Amino acid sequence: MKKTLYNCIIIGGGPAGARAALELSKFTNNILLIDYREILGDKLCTGIIGKECAEKYGLAEYLIHNEGNSADIINPSDNKFHLKSDNPKAFIIDRAKYVQEIIQKAIKNNIQVFYQSRVTNITVNKKYAEVSYTRSGIKKTICTKSIILASGLESKLISKLNIKPINKENILNGSQIILKNTEKITNTKVFLGSRFGSQGFGWIVPTFKDELLIGVLTKSRSKNILHQFLNTITDEYNLKNMDKKLIKSWGIPIKPLIKTYSDRVLIVGDAAGIVKPVTGGGIYYSQISADIAVETLKIALNKNDFSEKFLSSYENKWMDAIGTEIENGNKLRNILFGFEDNLLDNLTNFALSNKFITNILTSNKSSFDNHFKSVLNFINNQKIMALFSKSKYSKIKEIIPNMKKDIF
Ligand SMILES: Cc1cc2nc3c(=O)[nH]c(=O)nc-3n(C[C@H](O)[C@H](O)[C@H](O)COP(=O)(O)OP(=O)(O)OC[C@H]3O[C@@H](n4cnc5c(N)ncnc54)[C@H](O)[C@@H]3O)c2cc1C
C-alpha cells in the first residue's frame, strides 16, 4: 500500500496547533494534528485573553468564565487598589473548550487528529520529513511535506532540529490551584512584591463556576511560593480543607528561540518562545504566530519549496507583527519586576490613588494584549510625566526618565 504523504503534520494541539490546523484546513487537505493528550487544550493555564484576541479570533459566549473589567492590585504592604474600566479589557475563558472548539472546526474541514500519540522524533530529507510517534506503546513513522511544531514548552523536539533550546533563565515557572470560591469573590486580584520570588507575582481569579484560580508566576520555585502564599490568605478567603497536592506547575518561555524555522519545519507558540513577556500570556501570540506560519506554508505548498531559506520569511513576518512588543516587553518586565518592595509600595500608593493616572490605565489606550505599547502611551503622556516629576520620592521622579533610557 502506498504511504500517505501529508501536506502538513502539526505537532501539538494547544492554541497554536489548533489555530494552525484551522487556518490550514481552509485551503488544503491532508493535514494531521498529533497530540499526546486525550483532552486537547487541557494544559495548566489561567485562561485570560485580552479583548484584541477575542475580537481577532472570536469568542463564543459559552466559553467565557468571567469578564475582566475590574481588578484589585495588592502591593507588598497589602494595600489594595481597585481599578475598573467601562468595558472588559480581558476575558477569563474555559481554555480547554476554547482550543477544542477551534479543533472541531478544523475537523469539519477534514483535518485528521491522532490523540494520545507522542511524537518522539523528526527527521528531514530532501523529499519529505518523517515524524515518528508512539501510541499505546506502538511506534509508527509517517511522512509529510512540512511540519508545524506547536508542542509548547516541553519540546524535546527542538534539539532534533539542531536549534538551541530556550535558556532556562528565560523561562518563568507557574503554579496554580483551583479552589472553591466560598467568599463569593468577584474581582480578580493581582499581588505584587518580593514574596513572589524573582520577577514574580501572584493572582486570584474568580470564575462564574464559583471557583478561584490561585497562582504564582516567578523566576523562582513557583510551587513553594504558592504554598506560602496560600498559607497567608487561607483565613481571608476562607480556603479551608484545601488539598495542596492539587497544585499544578508548568513553565512559560519569555524569549524566542534564536531561530524559529528549519528545512520543512516552522516553530510556533510556546515552542518558539512567542509569548507576551510581561504577564507570560501566550494564548494570543501563539495564535498570531500560527497564523503567520500558515500564511508562509500556503505559499510554500504552492511553490513546493520547503527549504529553510524560503521558510525564513515566517520569522521576518512574525517579528514584524509582534517582535518589537516581545523584545521591549522583556525590557519592560526587567524594569517593572526589578522594583524593590519599598519602591513598589510608594509607586502604587502614588500612582494608583491618582484618578488621572488610573483613568489612563483603565482607558482604551491601555491594552492587555500590547503591554509595551500601552506603557509607551503612558510614559509619553505629558501630564503623566509632569505628575511623576513632581513626586516627593526621588526614585519615583526617576522612573519615567530611567524607563525611557533603558528601553530606547
Ligand atoms: C500557570 C500558567 C498560567 C497561564 N495563564 C495564561 C493566561 O491566563 N493567558 C494566556 O494567554 N496564557 C497563559 N499561560 C501561557 C499559555 O498557557 C501558553 O502560552 C499557551 O498555552 C501556549 O500555547 P501553545 O499551543 O504554544 O502550547 P501548549 O498549550 O503548551 O500546547 C502544546 C501541545 O503540544 C502537545 N505536545 C507536546 N509535546 C508533544 C509531543 N512530543 N507529541 C505530541 N504532542 C505534544 C501538548 O500535549 C500540548 O497539548 C499560562 C501558563 C501557565 C503555566
Q: What's the pLDDT tens digit per position in 370-389?
A: 888 888 888 889 999 999 99
For ligand 1, the distance from its centroid to the CA atom of residue 152, given in whole angstroms, is 5
User: Cα–Cα distance between 2 and 185 in angstroms, integer?
Assistant: 59
Burial environment of residue 390 by CB neighbours within 10 A (0 to 12, 13 to 18, 19 or more) = exposed
Judge whether 263 and 124 are in contact, CB under 8 Å.
yes
3: confidence class by pLDDT, cuts 50, 70, 90? confident
User: Cα–Cα distance between 52 and 73 in angstroms, integer?
Assistant: 22
For ligand 1, the distance from its centroid to the CA atom of residue 43, given in whole angstroms, is 6
For the whole prediction, is pTM greater than 0.75? yes
pLDDT tens per residue across span 29-56: 999 999 999 999 999 999 999 999 999 9
Phi and psi at 391, nearest 5°, equal -60, 150
Give, in degrees to the nearest 5, the angle at Cα 327 between 269 and 399.
Answer: 135
DSSP symbol at 165: P
For ligand 1, the distance from its centroid to the CA atom of residue 255, given in whole angstroms, is 15
* Ligand 1 and 273: CB distance under 6 A: no
- As given in the structure block, the three cell numbers for residue 310 are 524560503
Q: Whose C-alpha lies nearest to ligand 1, atom 39?
A: 151
Q: What is the pLDDT of residue 375?
A: 86
* Ligand 1 and 277: CB distance under 6 A: no
* Ligand 1 and 270: CB distance under 6 A: yes
2: confidence class by pLDDT, cuts 50, 70, 90? low
pLDDT tens per residue across span 65-123: 988 889 999 999 999 999 999 888 899 999 999 999 999 999 999 999 999 999 999 99
CA distances from 311 to 33, 150, 259, 334 (A): 20, 16, 11, 32
* Ligand 1 and 192: CB distance under 6 A: no
Q: What is the pLDDT of residue 86?
A: 86
User: Cα–Cα distance between 144 and 127 in angstroms, integer?
Assistant: 9
Mean pLDDT of 132-140: 97
12: confidence class by pLDDT, cuts 50, 70, 90? very high
**CATH number of 5-45+95-165+257-323, picked from 3.30.390.30, 3.40.50.1820, 3.40.50.880, 3.50.50.60:** 3.50.50.60
pLDDT tens per residue across span 282-327: 999 999 999 999 999 999 999 999 999 999 999 999 999 999 999 9
1: confidence class by pLDDT, cuts 50, 70, 90? low
Judge whether 119 and 151 are in contact, CB under 8 Å.
yes
* Ligand 1 and 193: CB distance under 6 A: no
Q: What top-level class would CATH report for the domain 48-94+168-253?
A: alpha beta
User: Cα–Cα distance between 247 and 177 in angstroms, integer?
Assistant: 5
Q: Which of 81, 10, 67 is nearest to 267 (CA)?
A: 10
**Residues of the chain with pLDDT > 90: what percent?**
81
> Would the pLDDT of 407 be above 80?
no
User: Cα–Cα distance between 66 and 68 in angstroms, integer?
Assistant: 7
User: Cα–Cα distance between 81 and 45 in angstroms, integer?
Assistant: 25
User: Cα–Cα distance between 60 and 166 in angstroms, integer?
Assistant: 34
* Ligand 1 and 15: CB distance under 6 A: yes
Judge whether 386 and 115 are in contact, CB under 8 Å.
no
Q: Whose C-alpha lies nearest to ligand 1, atom 41?
A: 119
Judge whether 283 and 95 are in contact, CB under 8 Å.
yes
Mean pLDDT of 175-184: 93
Q: 124 pairs with which residues across the strands? A: 129
Q: What is the pLDDT of residue 240?
A: 80
Q: What is the pLDDT of residue 376?
A: 85
Residues 6+ apart with CB under 8 A from 90: 48, 49, 50, 51, 67, 68, 368
Between helix 15-25 and helix 95-108 the angle, nearest 10°, is 20
Mean pLDDT (the chain, rounded): 94
pLDDT tens per residue across span 326-379: 999 999 999 999 999 999 999 999 999 999 999 888 888 788 888 888 888 888
Give, in degrees to the nearest 5, the angle at Cα 163 between 371 and 269.
Answer: 35
The CA R_g of the chain, rounded to the nearest whole Å, is: 22
Phi and psi at 364, nearest 5°, equal -65, -15
What residue spans define the domains of the chain?
5-45+95-165+257-323, 48-94+168-253, 335-407
pLDDT tens per residue across span 209-237: 889 999 999 999 999 999 999 999 999 99
For ligand 1, the distance from its centroid to the CA atom of residue 14, given in whole angstroms, is 6
Q: Whose C-alpha lies nearest to ligand 1, atom 50?
A: 45
